[in-house]
Amino acid sequence: MTTAFRPRTLVLFVGDLLAFVLALWLSLFLRVFEAPSQMLFVAHLVPFSLLFVAWVAVFFIAGLYESRLLALARRALSTTLLAAQTFNLIIAALFFFFVPLFGIAPKTLLFIYLAVSFLLVLLWRAGIFPSLGMQKPEPVAVLGTGPELVEVLDALGAAHRPPITIVPAAPGVPAVSLASLYEEMFGRVLLSSVDDRWLADNLPRYTRTLYDPLKRAIDILIALPAGVISLIVYPFVALAIKLEDGGAVFIWQGRVGEGGRIVYMPKFRSMERNDTDLASLSHGTNRVTVVGRILRATRVDELPQLWSVVRGDLSLIGPRPELPSGVALYEKEIPYYGLRHLIKPGLSGWAYLNQYNDPHHGVAMEETRTKLSYDLYYLKHRSLVLDLTIALKTIAKLLTRRGV
């Protein structure tokens, strides 16, 4: 679940790039069975280098740099890799069609490259990389009890990870807490481990001297032009809403923001009634309009919230903001729920990507506990790299409409 840039991830990343370059040379050779000249190779390497950046992003989206997938069984790895490289081939074809600036128009070469690069990256990941010893299993003592331990063991077997021997703590045996192992495997904090000591160890990290202003600058640089461009669709959305029932185009919803402050965010109206009361939502009395279903499915209803990002009430990435009535209930029932309000909420977040039973509306206590565990993971580990990962995967999720 995690995508941290640890040494093994960096080595894997560099190896993938080298495999891409070598695959290009071999593809040029196989096309005419003659070694390509230096001039020919460089002429292809320049545009392909631009593609390598996009291809690595696709690998990130496909989860090929996530720690839990670094030890995929060869069959599962080959399936994921083939899908990613096929998508990369489509990106390359579109790139050379719409950006004819490099004097080359590879067609046959791209199909040769798909096969060669797939085999080379598979050889690198399934053959060479494991032999470097960076994934070598070692005895480890896992300290902890409870049902989560069974969940960890089940996941270890399902993911075909290298075996981790679970033994009582013993002298000379490296030890890892169940909470740490759980967090590493599932990308969320073990809520039963959150106590005063956890707060003392992790809350000092929630302020980032350099990260916070950089993130704010990125929010403005992206949200402002995106908000201006999105104005193009406003008249069409407004017309569709008005033609359906003649009601208001926008609604302003109060949500709990950073520090527990209530912030009001605009959205295109998607329901028949302008009711944001949690009790009404939980009983299903609000009905989504026909236009509203389309707006929600495409997330167009949230486009006005880009201006909330510009204003500073929201960030592009962060925990999704909740209704005040829901927060009041959750804070009574779920210990440390208020920790998620230490940082600014976002349009997309770690929980949004990873939780398949996300409680969109109404009271869902267990689902909200799970959501909090993802939010606390983000609070603990947030960085520009993690934000970029969330952004890329959000785009992929919206394009595939997976879980939307």
pLDDT value of position 51: 87
Domain count of the fold of the chain: 3
Is 197 a member of any domain? no
* Segment among 144-153, 196-205, 272-281, 387-396 with least mean pLDDT: 272-281
Question: Are both 170 and 221 inside the same structural domain?
Answer: no
Question: Are both 331 and 233 inside the same structural domain?
Answer: yes
- pLDDT of 212 strictly over 80: yes
Domain holding 145, by residue range, is 137-187
Question: Are both 115 and 157 inside the same structural domain?
Answer: no
End residue of a domain, out of 66, 100, 131: 131
Average pLDDT over residues 4-20: 78
CB 284 within 8 A of CB 215: no
- pLDDT of 197 strictly over 90: no
* Segment among 56-70, 279-293, 380-394 with least mean pLDDT: 279-293
Question: Are both 363 and 298 inside the same structural domain?
Answer: yes
Average pLDDT over residues 53-72: 70
Say how far apart CA 301 and CA 314 lie, in whole Å. Answer: 16
- pLDDT of 390 strictly over 50: yes
Question: Are both 44 and 84 inside the same structural domain?
Answer: yes
More confident of the two residues 184 and 360: 184
Question: Are both 74 and 160 inside the same structural domain?
Answer: no
Question: Are both 71 and 158 inside the same structural domain?
Answer: no
Is 153 a member of any domain? yes
pLDDT value of position 26: 93
- pLDDT of 283 strictly over 80: no
Question: Are both 325 and 376 inside the same structural domain?
Answer: yes
Indicate the average pLDDT of the chain. Answer: 79
* Segment among 17-21, 79-83, 184-188 with least mean pLDDT: 79-83
* Segment among 7-21, 143-157, 158-172, 309-323 with least mean pLDDT: 158-172
- Looking at the chain, the whole-number percentage of residues with pLDDT higher than 90 is 26
Backbone angles phi, psi at 359, to 5 degrees: -75, 85
pLDDT value of position 72: 47
pLDDT value of position 381: 85
Q: How confident is the model at residue 281 (pLDDT cuts 50, 70, 90)?
A: very low
- pLDDT of 216 strictly over 90: yes
More confident of the two residues 345 and 288: 345
pLDDT value of position 392: 78
Q: How confident is the model at residue 238 (pLDDT cuts 50, 70, 90)?
A: very high
pLDDT value of position 211: 84
Question: Are both 243 and 388 inside the same structural domain?
Answer: yes
Is 366 a member of any domain? yes
Average pLDDT over residues 307-314: 94
Question: Are both 225 and 351 inside the same structural domain?
Answer: yes
pLDDT value of position 54: 85
Is 291 a member of any domain? yes
pLDDT value of position 160: 45
Question: Are both 55 and 159 inside the same structural domain?
Answer: no
pLDDT value of position 305: 95
Is 205 a member of any domain? no
- 80-124 pLDDT tens trace: 777 788 878 888 888 887 777 666 767 788 888 888 888 898 888
- 329-388 pLDDT tens trace: 999 999 999 999 999 999 999 998 888 666 555 557 888 999 999 999 999 888 887 888
List of residues 6+ apart from 150 with CB closer than 8 A: none
pLDDT value of position 82: 78
Question: Are both 152 and 116 inside the same structural domain?
Answer: no
- 126-182 pLDDT tens trace: 777 666 554 555 555 555 555 666 666 565 555 445 555 555 555 555 666 777 777
Instruction: Look up the pTM and report it.
Output: 0.67
The two structure tokens encoding residue 108: 């046959």
pLDDT value of position 126: 78
